[in-house]
């Protein structure tokens, strides 16, 4: 199987959403972003919980983007990512609640900023 089929666009977007939400939760709780080892741990946890596999390059690419996106979401959002908002984003601290407006906002930002998007040539450039 190819990488794209093993770890599809939706899975990459959901993992990135989880990492961004985790970054925002840590920032709210401690005033600091996740340390590298915690990002790695969060990535492995999400993969196990969701029965997914991703190669190291996919994991590193998404993990590196998570803090940058978290900073931008926190800055640009109309929503305040306070303790109540961040707590409502997770079920039992492990799984994201995709009914939460905060999670939906993060998911949209992640989908729009996912690294490695495919680019299609327009027909005029192939003729």
**What is the Cα–Cα distance from 81 to 102, expressed in whole angstroms?**
8
pLDDT (tens digit, 9 = 90+) per residue, 97-118? 999 999 999 999 999 998 765 4
pLDDT band at 66 (very low <50, low <70, confident <90, very high): very high
Compute the mean pLDDT over every residue in the chain, rounded to the nearest whole number: 85
**What is the Cα–Cα distance from 56 to 52, expressed in whole angstroms?**
13
Q: What is the DSSP letter of 31?
A: S
Provide the sign of the torsion angle of the four alpha carbons 51, 34, 12, 106, taken in this order. positive
Q: Tokens 């680019």 belong to which residue?
A: 119
Q: What is the mean pLDDT of residues 68-88?
A: 86
Domain positions in the chain: 3-114
Give pTM, 2 decimals.
0.83
The residue with greater pLDDT, 86 or 96, is 96
Cβ neighbours of residue 83 under 8 Å, at least 6 residues apart? 28, 29
What pLDDT score was predicted for residue 120?
44
What pLDDT score was predicted for residue 118?
46
CB 105 within 8 A of CB 73: yes
């Amino acid at each position: 199987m190819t990488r794209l089929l093993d770890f599809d666009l939706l899975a990459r977007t959901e993992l990135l959403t989880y990492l961004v939400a985790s970054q925002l939760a840590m920032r709210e709780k401690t005033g600091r972003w996740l340390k590298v080892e915690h990002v790695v741990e969060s990535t492995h946890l999400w993969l196990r919980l969701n029965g997914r596999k991703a190669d190291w390059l996919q994991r590193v690419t998404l993990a590196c983007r998570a803090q940058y996106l978290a900073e931008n979401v926190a800055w640009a959002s109309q929503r305040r990512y306070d303790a109540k908002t961040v707590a409502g984003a997770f079920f039992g601290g492990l799984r994201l609640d995709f009914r939460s407006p905060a999670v939906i906002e993060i998911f949209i930002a992640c989908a729009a900023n996912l690294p490695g998007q495919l680019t299609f040539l327009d027909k005029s450039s192939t003729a």
